[in-house]
Amino acid sequence: MKVDLIIENAHILTMEGKGVGFIPNGSVAVKGNIIEAVGSAQDISRDYQSDNTIDAANKLVMPGFIDAHIHTGIAIFRGVAQDMSNWMQKGLWPFMKHLTPEESVKGSMVNIIEGLKAGTTTFCDYDGRMDLIAENYKRIGARARLAELVNEIPDNIGDLPVGELYPFDPSIGQTKFQRNLDLYETYHNSENGRLSVILGPHGPDMMSLELLKEFQHYGEKLDTKLHMHVAQGDREIDQIVKRYGKRSIDFLEENGFLNERLIAVHLTEATNEETERVAKSGAGMIYCAGSIGIIDGMVPPVHHFLQSGGTACLGSDQAPGNNCNNMFNEMKFAAILNKVKMSDPRVFNATTSLRMATIEAAKVMGIDGEVGSLAKGKKADMIIINLQDPTFFPVLTSPIRNIVPNLVYSARGHEVETSIIDGVVVMENRNIQTIDEAAALAEAQKAAESIAMRSEQDILNAESDILNMVREGLL
């Protein structure tokens, strides 16, 4: 059979089955944007021909990574709010106040480039003005599962004294909610299905029960998932207890949110009992190892979630906290932080991390019929990784096969040579084919400098830890 592309002679991790689906000396046949076959090089070369082949000897072929939770709209603030208390209020807020949607989009593009160059092929982006950011994904050719970040909170919330109940403004809520519906209308299943849209309620503390119920209603009507921060920080629990007299998980359960439609992000403050309840409800969990570790000094109960039978995956969150958006980084952090939390080196092995960055992420996001593993009929989203980089040395397949441990604990992202998304080679030999990377960077850098200049007075007024570090020559 004639196909459009054959990638041949590779080590393959299909991520099918319960492990990693290793195939030594294998090939993948692609027709249009669909995987036609995955198998031994011998079988594929017998059954398929193509004018377009990629020799992947000494390379690894695997599904592209799925970054389940990323806010690319604030990437432009990478590194400005580090190692400090009041990260949001004193670190980010003085900058955020001055960010225009156009600048946010420019920063987002660099963030997408960063992820793409580290093997991410599907971005579950969750931010404001996703209608503008969606155009970045359209241009660069990456797969995206988008959600508008919706809340009812006025823009000047940063000035509210800590501990006071957030004021809700229904008109803000309606505007943002409508944006999420419009986003769905415009982009869901657009670009040959490469872009899809789900719902993005910011968190149970960030809007009235009425608006949450609207989300619930539309979730059912559109048959789609709700991407929502849940039990993220004591601040949220405090708000929910003050408002409803109970904790977040109880509140969500009583209102019918704990089910397979919910994608619960963080669960930082969930007790083991609450974690178990969420896991058993069928809701998915997104664990952001780097961001929660660095911003909060915490390890969320993801290990307990998995032990309770839940489906969980990894997300890189946002650049100003984490502060990189690289699934290699997340896989490493997830493994080591949970080993240390449980005082056990066997906990959270490399395979667990790898699955949570691929097939398990597809399950949580509801796209495992399309991506997350290499199998006949799935979308042709895959990456080719150079195994001849020192970070992969040595490559052994028998009796011990060390490719997966080295992928998770040693590789860093630059080993990814080629990315194929929806059957299209979007990156080849580390060069993005669809946009001008240097121009995107230069444009975003200019925007960042302009915001920093306009924010100066607010930054000085904030008297943050990081400002003091700069003044003392510590940065």
| Contact between 44 and 7 (Cβ < 8 Å) | no
Which of 367, 301, 359, 309 has its CA nearest to residue 334? 301
Binders in 270-289 for a copy of itself, by CB under 8 A: none
Does 297 interact with a copy of itself (rule: CB under 8 A)? yes
Taking the complex as a whole, how short is the minimal distance between the CB of residue 216 and a copy of itself, in angstroms?
Answer: 34
Taking the complex as a whole, how short is the minimal distance between the CB of residue 68 and a copy of itself, in angstroms?
Answer: 20
Phi, psi dihedrals of residue 444, rounded to the nearest 5°: -70, -35
Taking the C-alpha atoms of residue 426 and residue 423, their distance in angstroms, rounded to an integer, is 9
Does 165 interact with a copy of itself (rule: CB under 8 A)? no
Q: Which residues pair with 379 in a beta bridge?
A: 34
| Contact between 249 and 268 (Cβ < 8 Å) | no
The nearer residue to a copy of itself, 224 or 275, going by C-beta atoms, is 275
Taking the C-alpha atoms of residue 249 and residue 257, their distance in angstroms, rounded to an integer, is 9
Which of 454, 475, 452, 451 has its CA nearest to residue 465? 475
User: Which burial class, exposed, middle or buried, applies to 52 when counting CB atoms under 10 A from its CB (0-12, 13-18, 19+)?
Assistant: exposed
Selected from 105, 153, 263, 350, the binder of a copy of itself by CB under 8 A is: 350
Does 22 interact with a copy of itself (rule: CB under 8 A)? yes
The nearer residue to a copy of itself, 151 or 316, going by C-beta atoms, is 316
Selected from 45, 410, 433, 434, the binder of a copy of itself by CB under 8 A is: 410
| Contact between 110 and 441 (Cβ < 8 Å) | yes
Selected from 79, 167, 170, 369, the binder of a copy of itself by CB under 8 A is: 79
Selected from 64, 204, 413, 423, the binder of a copy of itself by CB under 8 A is: 413
The nearer residue to a copy of itself, 162 or 474, going by C-beta atoms, is 474
Token pair recorded at residue 242: 């003050």
Selected from 29, 41, 66, 75, the binder of a copy of itself by CB under 8 A is: 75
Which helix (H) or strand (E) element contains residue 383? Answer: strand 382-386
Selected from 31, 188, 235, 339, the binder of a copy of itself by CB under 8 A is: 339
Token pair recorded at residue 92: 């980010």
Taking the C-alpha atoms of residue 302 and residue 315, their distance in angstroms, rounded to an integer, is 12
Which one of 40-48, 131-139, 345-353, 363-371 is the stretch in contact with a copy of itself (CB under 8 A)? 345-353
Binders in 188-217 for a copy of itself, by CB under 8 A: none
Taking the complex as a whole, how short is the minimal distance between the CB of residue 67 and a copy of itself, in angstroms?
Answer: 14
Token pair recorded at residue 438: 């240097």
Pattern 366-405, binding to a copy of itself, x per CB under 8 A? ----------------------x-xx-xxxx-xxxxxxxx
The nearer residue to a copy of itself, 1 or 340, going by C-beta atoms, is 340
Does 18 interact with a copy of itself (rule: CB under 8 A)? yes
The nearer residue to a copy of itself, 1 or 460, going by C-beta atoms, is 460
Residue at token pair 């003085």: 94
Sheet bearing 65-70, strands edge to edge: 65-70, 120-127, 143-148, 195-198
Cα–Cα distances in angstroms (integers) from residue 100 to residues 3, 288, 448, 450, 454, in the given order = 46, 26, 11, 11, 11
Taking the complex as a whole, how short is the minimal distance between the CB of residue 443 and a copy of itself, in angstroms?
Answer: 11
Does 162 interact with a copy of itself (rule: CB under 8 A)? no
Does 137 interact with a copy of itself (rule: CB under 8 A)? no
Does 219 interact with a copy of itself (rule: CB under 8 A)? no
What residues have CB less than 8 Å from 338, skipping those under 6 apart?
299, 302, 303, 347, 348
Q: How many chain residues interact with a copy of itself (CB under 8 A)?
A: 95
Binders in 440-469 for a copy of itself, by CB under 8 A: 441, 444-445, 448-449, 452, 455-456, 459-460, 465-467, 469
Taking the complex as a whole, how short is the minimal distance between the CB of residue 312 and a copy of itself, in angstroms?
Answer: 17
Which one of 134-142, 223-231, 265-273, 290-298 is the stretch in contact with a copy of itself (CB under 8 A)? 290-298
